[in-house]
Amino acid sequence: MWSLFQIRPNLLRSGAAARALRDGLPVMLDSREVSLRGRRELENIRYAIRLAEA
């Protein structure tokens, strides 16, 4: 997913896509099924969304 955002950073700025991802991130981060590496990537995506919204 991170590679996609690096290639198309406008996805983080688009309203619907960013909102859907931002709303789903807490659920994914709370899941016990997400690996430590996956959790780090999700945290990085959450940070990138915050930067794009600023």
pLDDT digits (tens, 9 = 90+) for 1-54: 667 777 777 777 767 877 888 888 899 889 889 899 989 988 888 888 888 777
Q: Residue 13: its pLDDT value, please?
A: 74
Q: Residue 47: its pLDDT value, please?
A: 86
Q: Residue 7: its pLDDT value, please?
A: 79
Q: Residue 6: its pLDDT value, please?
A: 76
Contacts of 1 (CB under 8 A, 6+ apart): 41, 45
- Range(s) of the domain holding residue 37: 2-53
Q: Residue 19: its pLDDT value, please?
A: 81
Longest dimension (CA), the chain: 31
The count of structural domains within the chain is 1
Q: pTM of the predicted model, to two decimals?
A: 0.71
